[in-house]
Amino acid sequence: MDRRRVCVLMVLWVMAHLSSPGHGLRALRRTTGGHKGAAGLTGQDANGVPLRRSKRGWMWNQFFLLEEYTGSDMQYVGKLHSDSDRGDGNTRYVLTGEGAGSLFRIDEKSGDIHATKRLDREEKAYYILRAKAVNRFTNEALEGESEFIIKIHDINDNEPRFTKDPYMARVPEMSDIGTSVIQVTAADADDATYGNSARVVYSILEGQPYFSVDPETGLIKTALPGMDREVKENYQVVIQAKDMAGQMGGLSGTTTVSITLADVNDNPPRFAKTVYEFRVPESSDIGSAVGVIRAMDNDIGENAEMEYRIIGSDGPGMFDVTTNRSTQEGVILLRK
């Protein structure tokens, strides 16, 4: 990401936070009455006279830092300041806690904090640190130690990823329009609680007009009536998941869904010929095979398993028919 884009993002981010109460970019004064933020700054007493703080305190609350900053200079985080610091150089600010001295460096005179490295929100979203202010010469505490948080602000730097690729699914042939086939899911590592960086919308790139996908849920359904397995059995459907709620500039990922139409018994068996002719020598033994017949069936599996029966004969009881299970042929046998 280039510098200009970072600057633009920073500006947007500042605007977003300035417009949301309680999340000011500037640190808020910690008040003595246990209140935080704007409410603590604008209190009034029973007579409507504005309350004034008389006690000293820290001048910060929470810091925000944009992740994945790639500038050559160190990124400014914020400033610690104590009311007891009179600017005479007597105050020394001390930072401890997560990343203190390594990721986060403080100018012990000014209280300015900088980040020394590029930070990844998806690796760690916030850091808990502690600050204190001491007299540089006597080491006497000027301000009690207090905890504060550096929150890493999200940018959209992760594309949605499907939990599987490919997916395999089956749906009966000839299903009604809107029959559920399978639900696909893509996860986005960005912050789901802020903005649209992790807001995923599904769309179908390949597989129309046979199938459709619900943009919100990722549920794939049939979209065409009368899909016939005997005509086409397998479909490759490509689904896209796009963040930023599907808007321009969002990041995307795809997956393939291999859909097979499951067989329904919708084809009757058909004989290749309407008349078969067999000759039987007079000397044939009873039980010997006279001939073989074969009916074809466009279905598969048990829907194509045959059972032959004699339903009419001008020589009643002369012949019998059995089914060869492995070849699905009918074997005509001499009975008398």
Chain mean position to CA 129: 32
* Cβ nearer to Ca ion, comparing 143 with 190: 190
Give the residue, chosen from 108, 112, 120, 233, that forms a contact with Ca ion under the rule CB under 5 A: 120
Report the C-alpha dihedral over residues 109, 113, 118, 124, rounded to 10 degrees. 130
Select from 262, 252, 163 the least CA-distant residue to 222.
Answer: 262
Please state the closest distance from residue 106 (CB atom) to Ca ion, in A. Answer: 24
* Binding segment toward Ca ion, per CB under 5 A, in 107-115, 122-130, 213-221, 277-285: 122-130
Q: What would the two tokens of residue 160 be? A: 């949605």
Shortest reach from residue 243's CB to Ca ion, in Å: 4
* Tokens found for residue 110: 């000014």
Handedness of CA 177, 179, 181, 187 (dihedral sign): positive
How many other CB atoms are there within 10 angstroms of residue 160's CB atom? 25
Burial class (CB in 10 A: 0-12, 13-18, 19+), 151: middle
Instruction: From residue 176, give the alpha-carbon distance in Å to each of 97, 154, 171, 173, 189.
Output: 61, 44, 11, 9, 37
Given candidates 190, 199, 202, 330, which one binds Ca ion under the rule CB under 5 A? 190
With respect to Ca ion, which residue has the nearer C-beta, 27 or 174? 174
Q: Which tokens is 285 given?
A: 């033994």
The residue from 82, 197, 240, 255 that contacts Ca ion (CB under 5 A) is 197
**Hey, which residues between 232 and 271 contact Ca ion (CB under 5 A)?**
243, 263-264, 266
The smaller minimum CB distance to Ca ion, of residues 108 and 120, is found at 120
Closer to Ca ion at the Cβ: 83 or 228? 228
What is residue 112's three-state secondary structure? strand
- Residues 65-104: x/- map of binding to Ca ion (CB under 5 A)? ----------------------------------------
Q: Which of 122, 206, 297, 329 binds Ca ion (CB under 5 A)?
A: 122
Residues 123-182 that bind Ca ion (CB under 5 A): 154, 156-158
The single residue among 13, 241, 299, 308 that binds Ca ion, judged by CB under 5 A, is 299
Q: Which is nearer to Ca ion, 10 or 264 (CB)?
A: 264
Phi, psi of 304 (to 5 degrees): -120, 10
Q: How many residues bind Ca ion (CB under 5 A)?
A: 15
- Neighbouring C-beta atoms of residue 143, cutoff 10 Å: 21
**Contact set with Ca ion (CB under 5 A):** 120-122, 154, 156-158, 188, 190, 197, 243, 263-264, 266, 299
